[in-house]
Structure 1
Amino acid sequence: MKDKRSLLIYTMIWGVAVLIFVVLFLENLGFAKVINYSGIVRGATQKLVKEELNNEPDDALIQYLDDILEGLQHGGGTYDLTLISARDYQYRLKQMRFAWNAMKEEIAEVRAGKNKDVLYEASQEYFVMADEMVATAESISNRRLVLAIGIFFAYLILSGGFFLLWFFNKQKQLDKVRYVDELTGLANLSGFELSLRTLTDTLNEGELALAYFDLDDFKYVNATYGYAVGDQILSSIGSILAAAYGKDHCARAGNDNFYVCVKLEKECLEKLRRKLRKQLKKTLALDVIDETTITVGACIMNKKDELHDMLDNAMLAHKRAKQSGKGSLVWYDQQLLNRMNQETLLIKQRHAALAQHEFKLYLQPKFEIPSLEVYGAEALVRWSRKDGTQLPPDDFIPLFEENGFIHELDFYMLKQVCRFIRERNLQDHFMISVNFSRVTIHHRDFYEKFHAIVDAYAIPARCLQIEITESAFNGLAKTVLDMLNQLKREGFILSIDDFGSGYSSLNLLNTLMMNEIKIDRVFLNEENERREQIIGLIVDIAATLEIDVICEGVETQADVDMLRRLHCGRGQGFYLSRPLPEQEFADQFLAAPVAAGE
């Protein structure tokens, strides 16, 4: 729409210019015609006089000259002549009309046989007057032509100036759209790149750091308080950054992500976060600010580094910070590079490691409270590499979730669990839970592959528990929920892991028929009076809904005693045992009952 409007304005400007040119051209043609006919009057009159003096009457020529003079004086007429209304021209034209009428009287006298000398003398005077009239017409025409050309070029200059002003204004508007974030008024990523190019030209080594940050759980803020509040927060952040660091030193990179150049000094990133939180509390009367955490990644700005490399380095540090947990600070440095190189190596080795059975099955017992009788276990994975090192899940599971390999690993571990159950001939009174990632349960072939493995090993449904982290249910498709409910109807046990760590806990209990919820370990780690109330509330809700409850992270006798008081009947944690290799687990927990403290 804007392009069409621009084209219309451009067309109108040049259309008017063409119209003016055409009008001036036609006017000039009209003046040329007048000059031409003025010259005809002069020449034709001399011819007429010669004819009359030679006794050759020519009434047609007299009428011809009458018509021309009439057209010259009033415009139009037989020959459609342009009226020149200039006073000096009209004055000379009137003199000529008067002289012409006198000459016609003398012509009548000559035809009557009177003296011819008077007509000859009159014609000579008329010729001089005609010369003056032609010269006057030419002079007027030249002045009008110069004036017309001046008007035309003046219009071109004025319209060109207007067009340039309009064009530059449009460019400013386009630049604003192209380089400025509309909500915050800060530069967007493209605009920030231009600012950084100028900034790095005068940059001293070790002077500035480039920080990339976002607000943790900002989607939750939008969902809970509304997008208007979310936009208000983002706009306030833009104002705070612009006031504190200057518009040229910061940008909004999209959503709730921001770049900012800060002075490189001790705790500069922590100072940035404190400044933001302090100013946001002053600006916004919202309780959510008190709970909002900010995750930051940063790199030191070096003149020798490419612009895009600096932006990417800060973003990579931020990505690592997000993986480390809410409110984390991470610098892009050699340690981070080493870690990234290590991850790249792990990704390259994943398929070979799976083929060579380097991923080992570990089991951690689940026990009854207060008897500590083991009734089942959770299947966990460890990577035992060929070089003898062993990697915990946190070192490779997030990587595999990002690149999709977790799908293969999850089903590999399901096979190991089914093999273990079959080899140990476990009955349906002993249950092993298998973790499935969000990536895996979203695969279209999940149901078929799950059944193919379980059916191949002829595993009773009550022996398997499908354990899915609560956060994986955010935005879960209805088809997936229906599929999980179908597995439950078939007898498989469904469990929500890390219950209470997300924002959809109660809604999950409404949409999914769970058999068990596993209370997140964070509630046992929190040392406050409310933790017992929260755990007790979860236990009571679960009892009302006839859902089993287990609490993970049980490490002390005090934890066991508290869970017993709250009627939480099951636990899992280091209090009884760490995760063990499958053989050790079998020797310790499947051979004979385990007494407390062993």
Structure 2
Amino acid sequence: MKQCTQRDAAQLLYNNAFSGILISIIASSFLVFAFNTAEMRQFKHAWWVLMTSLLLIRLVDWHLWKRRDINRQLNGSKAILRFISGANLTAVLWSVYILKVVANPNSTDIDLSTHIIIISAMAGGSATVLAGHKRTAMFYAFILLGPPSIGLLLSGIYERQMLGILGFLFAIVMVVIAKKNAEFTAQAILLKNENALLVHHMEEKVERRTNTIYELSNLDPLTGLFNRTAFLQNLQQQLLAAQKKQQSLAVLFIDLDGFKKINDAIGHDTGDQVLNNTARRLKDISANHQLLCRWGGDEFLLAIENCDEQQAVQQSEEIIQVLSAAYSFQNNRLSVGATVGIALYPQHSENEHSLIRLADTAMYAQKKRSPCTVGVFSNQLEQKIHRELKLKDGLSQAIEKQQLSLAFQPILRAKDCQVVSFEALLRWQLDDEMIPPDEFIGIAEQYGLIRKIGLWVLDNACQIASSWPNEQALSVCVNVSVTQLEDHDFVEIVKHALHASQLPPERLHIEMTESVFSSDILFLAEQIKAIQDIGVQVSIDDFGTGYSSLSTMQDLAVNTVKIDRSFVQRIDTNGYPIITAVMHIAQALNYSVVAEGVETEAQMNTLRSLGVDFLQGYYFAKPLPESQVVAFINGGAETTSQQA
């Protein structure tokens, strides 16, 4: 602040300098040439040259100051020193001149009075002009009036002594006024700079607070990347620029693979470190950080300017490679993968929200199909997603709208082709379209609808089976998903279905797919044992196509295995040894065997020869609607005996 105060004081002095110097030039010239006596001529001319030279030097100094002021290259203390040196020398020259005039015995009273008046006026003006420097202002006022007044007092002439007294008193008054003016000016300059400093501090606080607000509203607090709001604004601006330049743009939706396992197994602190390192790696490989953001969780977005599909795929593959490199945390090496979805402007959309949604769609579909790879949005993919969403919405209301129904395919005893049970198969008619189970069951599992639908199937299958003729004691086989089996209250759900339908437990068979082998085997083994304890039998469906192993089969201790239709269809080639191996395993574990997908008499005979216990397939009957089951049961003896 001291430097600012000195600079302001110098500024004040130099701002008043031109007028003061000009007045000094005029006054000195007037006094020298208007009162030009012979005996004083030589002195006055010499003094005038000296005074004019000094004033011209001060004018040059003033001019240099003004130029430095424009360029803001100011040194206040040095400028003040130059200024007061010139001003004090000017005052001394004036004092010498007046003393010479006073000492001249030939000076008339008019001469003396005129000189004293002019000098007094200049002394009075100096109190204001030199207010920027107190000592100089006081010295200037006194040196102009003090010495000549003392000279007049010592003249011995009464009139001149009176003039000397007036001059000396005026000098004292001017010194006091100059002192007060200078002190007031100094205080004003000090207050100005204190206020300026205060304003500066306030501006700094406001700037810091503004930066904080900006960070809170635009930056992700964990990674420091832009957040959704800022990214959308930047992407919108970039799309406008791309439109003007007629350039393409790619939006990459990046989702980490395996991040949830790290978060759950090691902790969120480690997960946060992985996200931070991921953000740094993305920063290193992205050209424009304003088009990079953390979208949420373990999802990131990157927009690439002037980029076509081939370039976007190539850069996405590089991103996957970079992000898949292992991280080292506390002597542990951790790694995550990444799946990237791409949407392109203007091919796929011209709107920032739509581009992000389409890139997300492409990423999601790619993750389901092949994680840690790149997927590009396409119209076919959009149609598939739209259909999936349509089916999901339809499934959520299918029960209420009575769109679901059950079909029943008979299962026959191999040795005599007698019907022993029916497999309940779910059917869904949406508007005028029959939706294949292979299409909608996966959607039901994905969106958490399978429990509700599975409960409906179980209740209705038991209710329908309880209406079949009791003398045959036919069983009903109901498929359940792993999600249903993992419910802790599933056994109670089965008991409730049996109680509500009054179906004997031994007439209900629960079928589960081989996907159970990838779940919690110990818990599922307990569930199966509890189901069997109430009299319900358990089967493994589609055996041989997935996850099964001898050890887990033994742990689960089911009642029946069903050979998948794909092996039966290839029974004349490589399906035969697989079916033979399954039969050996089943016999060793005391399991019954059902062969699915029997379509020809030759297949039936071969399966019989291998010792298969039960047969199922189109050769015997296609799935029957509920209304035809009882008729099939009543007329089935004649039909099946002919086939046998």
TM-score normalised by the chain length of structure 1: 0.57
Q: Which of these two proteins has the greater Rg computed from alpha carbons?
A: 2
- Supply the AA of the counterpart residue of 1:384: Q
Is the counterpart of residue 261 in structure 1 residue 280 in structure 2? no
Q: Is the 8 A contact 2:563 2:594 kept in 1?
A: yes
Matches within 5 A, 1:273-422: 273=317, 275-277=319-321, 280-281=324-325, 289=335, 294-302=338-346, 305-321=350-366, 326=371, 330-343=375-388, 346=391, 354=399, 357-363=402-408, 379-385=424-430, 387=432, 389-397=433-441, 409-422=453-466
Q: Is residue 251 from structure 1 mapped to residue 265 from structure 2 by the alignment? A: no
Change in Cα spacing, 1:278 to 1:356, as seen in structure 2 (3 Å) is closer
Matching residue's letter, 1:500: F
Say if 1:188 and 1:252, in contact at 8 Å, map to a contact too: yes
In structure 2, the partner of 1:165 is: 204
Letter in 2 for 1:298: I
CA contact (8 A) 2:450 2:483 kept: no
Question: Structure 1's 510 and 257: CA in aligned 2 closer, same or farther, altered over 3 A?
Answer: farther
Matched-pair contact (CA < 8 Å) for 2:309–2:344: no
Whole-angstrom CA distance in 1 between matches of 2:194 and 2:594: 88
Q: How far apart are 1:383 and its partner, in Å?
A: 1.8
1:537 and 2:551 matched: yes
Q: CA deviation at 1:214?
A: 1.8
What amino acid does structure 2 have at the position aligned with 1:561? Answer: T
Q: Which has the higher contact order (CA 8 A, sep 6+)?
A: 1
Q: Which residue of 2 aligns with 1:196?
A: 235
1:561 aligned residue: 580
Which amino acid in 1 is paired with 2:579?
V
| Contact 2:528-2:556 within 8 A present in 1 as well | no
CA distance in 2, matches of 1:270, 1:341: 28
Cα deviation for residue 466 of structure 1 reads 6.4
Matched, 1:499 2:540: no
Greater mean deviation of Cα atoms: 224-233 or 412-421: 224-233
CA displacement 1:497-524 (0-9 Å, x = unmatched): 721335x444655799654887796x94
- Shift of residue 422 of structure 1? 1.6
What's the CA shift for 1:538? 0.9
* Alignment deviations for residues 151-190 of structure 1 (CA, whole Å, 9 cap, x no partner): 2221222332333334334433443444333544433323
State the alpha-carbon separation in 1 of the partners of residues 417 and 516 from structure 2.
22
Q: Which amino acid aligns with 1:148?
A: Q
Aligned equivalents of 2:318, 2:635: Cα separation in 1: 53
Question: Aligned partners of 1:582 and 1:325: how far apart in 2?
Answer: 38
Change (3 A) 1:211 1:393: farther
Aligned residues: 443
CA distance in 2, matches of 1:214, 1:277: 13
Mapped contact 1:542–1:548 kept (Cα < 8 A): no
Q: C-alpha separation between the residues in 1 aligned to 2:410 and 2:340?
A: 38
Once the two structures are TM-superposed, the CA of residue 421 in structure 1 deviates from its matched residue by: 0.8
1:211 to 252, 269, 288: 252
Name the residue aligned to 2:261: 220
Deviation string, structure 1 residues 58-97 (Cα, Å, up to 9, x no partner): xxxxxxxxxxxxxxxxxxxxxxxxxxx999999x9xxxxx
Query: Which amino acid letter does the alignment assign opposite residue 211 of structure 1?
Result: L
Deviations 1:394-439 (A, max 9, x none): 5445655677766664444234312321222468883523536959
Query: Which one of the candidate residues 281, 306, 312 is aligned to 1:240?
Result: 281
- Report the equivalent of 1:142: 181
* Stretch of structure 1 that moved more, 198-207 or 127-136: 127-136
Cα drift, residue 391 of structure 1: 0.9
Check conservation: 1:212, 1:297, Cα contact below 8 A.
yes
Please tell me whether the aligned partners of residues 478 and 510 of structure 2 are also in contact (alpha carbons under 8 angstroms). yes
Compared CA separation, residues 155 and 351, structure 1 to 2 (3 A): closer
C-alpha RMSD over aligned residues: 5.4
Q: Describe how 1:10-21 pairs up with structure 2 within 5 A.
A: none
Identity %: 18
For residues 295 and 447 of structure 1, do their structure 2 counterparts lie closer, same or farther at Cα, with a shift above 3 Å needed? same
Contact 1:192 1:251 in 2 (8 A): yes
Q: Which residue of 2 aligns with 1:98?
A: none
8 Å Cα contact 2:138-2:178 kept in structure 1 = no
CA distance in 2 between counterparts of 1:157 and 1:437 reads 74
Q: Is the CA contact 1:429–1:463 (under 8 Å) kept in the aligned structure 2? A: yes
Q: Secondary structure at the match of 1:238?
A: helix
Q: Secondary structure at the match of 2:383?
A: helix
Deviation at 1:276, TM superposition (A): 1.6
Q: State the secondary structure of the residue aligned to 2:464.
A: helix
Gaps of 5+ in 2: 1-133, 142-160, 533-537, 568-575, 599-615
Distance 2:420 2:314 in 1: 47
One-letter code aligned to 1:244? I
Deviations 1:464-504 (A, max 9, x none): 4667xxxxxxxxxxxxxxxxxxxxxxxxxxx68721335x4
* Cα distance between partner residues in 2 of 1:286 and 1:269: 32
User: Would you say the 8 A contact 2:281–2:323 is kept in 1?
Assistant: yes
Is contact 2:138–2:176 with CA below 8 Å preserved after alignment?
A: yes
Q: Map 1:394-543; keep pairs closer than 5 Å.
A: 394-397=438-441, 409-425=453-469, 430-435=475-480, 454-464=498-508, 498-502=515-519, 504-506=520-522, 509=525, 515=531, 524-525=544-545, 535-543=549-557
* CA gap 1:165/1:129 in 2 versus in 1, 3 angstroms: same
Q: Does structure 2 conserve the Cα–Cα contact (< 8 Å) formed by 1:496 and 1:514?
A: no
